[in-house]
Structure 1
Amino acid sequence: MRFVVDRNAMLRALGHITGIVERRNTIPILSNILIGADRDGGLTFKATDLDMEAVEAVPAKVEVTGAVTVPAHTLHDIVRKLPDGAEIRIERKGEEGRLKVATGRASFELAILPADDFPDMGQTELPTRFTVDSGELKRLFEKARFAISTEETRYYLNGIYLHAVDGPEGGKLRAVATDGHRLAQVETACPAGAGGMPGVIVPRKAVGEVIKLLESGAAPVEVTLSPAKIRFAVGDVVLTSKLIDGSFPDYARVIPTTNKKLLLLENADLVKAVDRVSTLSSEKGRAVKLNAAEGRLVVSANNPESGSATEEISAEYQDEPLEIGFNARYLLDITGQIDGTKALFKLADGSSPTLISDETDASALYVLMPMRV
């Protein structure tokens, strides 16, 4: 195998796929990526962790075809450190030898493993197919992923529940995540072809990799899926992932529908106040107390070991005074998703779930469970 490839194109491809490769592996070949070169000048890079697979095509001058696997992160580090715009010459030295990577006066030789041993997720039939705007898919995943549970025993919460729902204004493609303490629900107009899709749970790692792929591109994303797998095609990159095999809970039951007490305030003021006051909250609970009264909100924290803090901010509130406690980090996670200037809290009492949303955007809503303070 021998080819010449542009350093920038190769670096971009490696940056897209090496995130899948775990740095510590008990199976040596899973630390590698598969490089394949064919006669048509096609060069492909493939990475996998057995649950997820990414493939990217890169143009190259292929002189001798072939395939080989090399350590992913080592190759990525080498290419990243080479001069911008350099032409990289890569060739295999002997059948069982090494892979030579050279440009200018720099030359590296990497250990290889047989391409035939590299795992393949296969080309399973994925019956549901639709195209979604990259910005909308990124928004769905970015605004919901903070609420994904990290508790491995509740594995069915370790991802985003992606599904289609009917609504009064037409169908919606909805992403939901929850860890039992907070819940995020984000939706967009349902793309053609997605209406009959099965509800699927996209794993946390796959969500992160898709968001990275969408950082720079505005191209539409082709999504294909079955109840067991999902595939995202973004430009020259194809990311395939197994789905979490489990049933997502009936999240609608925990979304309050009767909260009548409305608290409207400047989101930036709330974020700063909670951040400052929580400096004195206990490390264990990170609790802050919100006291809402007419025209104002008082944010406070009390820690017997280090002291107490309070801060008052202006707010629009017309109901009887209400006191409620939240985990400060959870509250900041939610307010960090609000793009508008004002956050709207819909409250019931001090012990019931609170509904939080952007005053001007009904497509995303968040539920936060209270805590005793």
Structure 2
Amino acid sequence: MKVSIERGSLLKAVSQAQSVVERRNTIPILANVLIEAEGDTLRFRATDLDIEVIDVAPAQVTQAGATTVNAVMFHEITRKLPDGALVQLTADAVSGQLLVEAGRSQFKLATLPKEDFPAMATTEYTANFTAPAPTLRRLFDKSKFAISTEETRYYLNGVYMHVAESDGQPVLRCVATDGHRLARIDAELPAGAEAMPGVIVPRKTVGELRKLLDDDDTEIAVSVSETKVRFATPEITLTSKVIDGTFPDYTRVIPSGNPKRLEVDAADFAKAVDRVATVSSERSRAVKLSLDEDRLTLSVNAPDSGAAEEELAVAYGDEKLEIGFNAKYLLEIASQVDRENAVFMFNSSGDPTLMHEGNDLSAVYVVMPMRV
């Protein structure tokens, strides 16, 4: 294999591939990236056996071929090469090394046979559709903060992507919850997604997918089966196993009868919560909200470290209410608000609270209160 490629193109492709690779591996080949040169492209393939990413970059191929090399080391070398450098890659079959040359720099890297590199089993996909990158970015960005990190409840360790109904219309919906807070985000259902099975997209896959969604003009090809999900742009294909479990019936925890309505400037609210939470105990992070007519008082009383209080002018016309929350949860939910105002709907100090942006119900959040 002999190929020349511009350093910027190489770095972009290798960055995506190496991020999938697990740092600690009992199987040596899984630490490597498979490099395949053919035609006028260079393909990079990396996997941890649950996720596989394939990245394609334009290159000048003098001699076709393939090899595998340590992904993290290859990425570090590429990253440290000068901007605009032309990188030459030569796989030496005799020495079993990959020669990397750029200007006066030269590296000889150990390789493993391409035949040992595992291929992800192919799948027949039930549904194939395309969706704009901003649509998928909104669905996953606004829900991923609520993914559970508790390994015992593995079926909550991802985002539940499925077809649902809202106001009599089918929607593409993403839901995540950890039992303390919940995010439910809706988008218009793309053509071809009607028969899509509901799947739980794992946390790591959600993180990798985010890298595909930065370009607003990109259309993402999505394929879904009972066991796998695939997201593809013209350059990158991300395939992942889905979590083998049943997502709980989240509709039961979304309150529908919360009558007390608070409307507050989302940015001011987040900053105020952040300020008063500075003195809260690290363990509980409890903040008390005291609501009176058009006034919200945020307070923290931590016996070990002190007390804090801040008042905000808000729109609230219901009876007095005192309710406590974990400050971290309040901040995460408030940070999802793109519009100016956040609307909180309360029932009592012991019931779940609902939050949405202005009059937009396509993004709904639920947070459980705590005793303060």
TM-score by length of 1: 0.98
Q: Distance in 2 between matches of 1:118 and 1:110?
A: 17
Cα deviation code 1:133-187 (max 9, x no counterpart): 1001011000000000000000000000000112336211000000000000011
1:215 alignment partner in structure 2: 214
| 2:12 aligned with 1:12 | yes
Give every structure 1 segment of 4 or more consecutive aligned residues whose post-TM-superposition deviation is greater than 3 Å. Answer: none
Q: Distance in 2 between matches of 1:240 and 1:266?
A: 40
Q: Distance in 2 between matches of 1:252 and 1:132?
A: 25
Amino acid at match of 1:304: P
The answer on whether the counterparts of 1:160 and 1:201 sit within 8 Å (CA) in structure 2 is yes
| 2:270 aligned with 1:261 | no
| 2:159 aligned with 1:154 | no
The answer on whether the counterparts of 1:325 and 1:372 sit within 8 Å (CA) in structure 2 is yes
Q: Return the offset for 1:127.
A: 2.4
Structure 1: give runs of 5+ residues left out of the alignment.
none
Q: Distance in 2 between matches of 1:211 and 1:275?
A: 27
The answer on whether the counterparts of 1:340 and 1:360 sit within 8 Å (CA) in structure 2 is no
| 2:76 aligned with 1:69 | no
SS in 2 for 1:270: helix
SS in 1 for 2:308: strand
Structure-to-structure mapping, 1:238-249, within 5 angstroms: 238-249=237-248
Q: Which moved more, 1:139-148 or 1:163-172?
A: 163-172
Q: Return the offset for 1:67.
A: 1.0
| 2:31 aligned with 1:31 | yes
Cα deviation code 1:251-281 (max 9, x no counterpart): 0000000001000111111111110111111
Q: Distance in 1 between matches of 2:168 and 2:256?
A: 19
Q: Distance in 2 between matches of 1:265 and 1:122?
A: 50
1:164 alignment partner in structure 2: 163
Q: Distance in 1 between matches of 2:175 and 2:63?
A: 48
2:129 alignment partner in structure 1: 130
Q: Distance in 1 between matches of 2:216 and 2:103?
A: 31
The answer on whether the counterparts of 2:343 and 2:358 sit within 8 Å (CA) in structure 1 is yes
The answer on whether the counterparts of 2:292 and 2:321 sit within 8 Å (CA) in structure 1 is yes
SS in 2 for 1:109: strand
The answer on whether the counterparts of 2:146 and 2:181 sit within 8 Å (CA) in structure 1 is yes
Amino acid at match of 2:5: V
Cα deviation code 1:30-66 (max 9, x no counterpart): 111000112x223100010000000011111112221
Q: Distance in 2 between matches of 1:96 and 1:205?
A: 36
Q: Distance in 2 between matches of 1:156 and 1:15?
A: 29
Q: Which moved more, 1:358-367 or 1:224-233?
A: 358-367
Q: Return the offset for 1:93.
A: 2.0
Amino acid at match of 1:342: N
1:105 alignment partner in structure 2: 104
Amino acid at match of 1:19: S
Amino acid at match of 2:371: R
| 2:41 aligned with 1:2 | no
Q: Distance in 1 between matches of 2:112 and 2:151?
A: 33
| 2:21 aligned with 1:21 | yes
Structure-to-structure mapping, 1:281-360, within 5 angstroms: 281-360=280-359
Q: Percent same amino acid at aligned positions?
A: 52
Q: Return the offset for 1:218.
A: 2.4
SS in 2 for 1:248: coil
SS in 2 for 1:166: strand
Q: Distance in 2 between matches of 1:307 and 1:27?
A: 52
2:138 alignment partner in structure 1: 139
The answer on whether the counterparts of 1:16 and 1:213 sit within 8 Å (CA) in structure 2 is no
| 2:277 aligned with 1:278 | yes
| 2:178 aligned with 1:179 | yes
Q: Distance in 2 between matches of 1:58 and 1:224?
A: 22
The answer on whether the counterparts of 1:162 and 1:199 sit within 8 Å (CA) in structure 2 is yes
1:204 alignment partner in structure 2: 203
Q: How many residues align?
A: 372
SS in 2 for 1:24: coil
Amino acid at match of 1:3: V
Q: Distance in 1 between matches of 2:83 and 2:114?
A: 29
Q: Return the offset for 1:84.
A: 1.5
Amino acid at match of 2:362: S
Q: Return the offset for 1:89.
A: 0.6
Q: Distance in 2 between matches of 1:169 and 1:108?
A: 61
Q: Distance in 2 between matches of 1:68 and 1:14?
A: 14
Q: Distance in 1 between matches of 2:230 and 2:314?
A: 45
2:120 alignment partner in structure 1: 121
Amino acid at match of 1:306: S
SS in 1 for 2:238: strand
Amino acid at match of 1:291: S
Amino acid at match of 1:75: F
Q: Distance in 2 between matches of 1:17 and 1:218?
A: 23
Cα deviation code 1:303-332 (max 9, x no counterpart): 111111111100111111000000000110
SS in 1 for 2:169: coil
TM-score by length of 2: 0.98
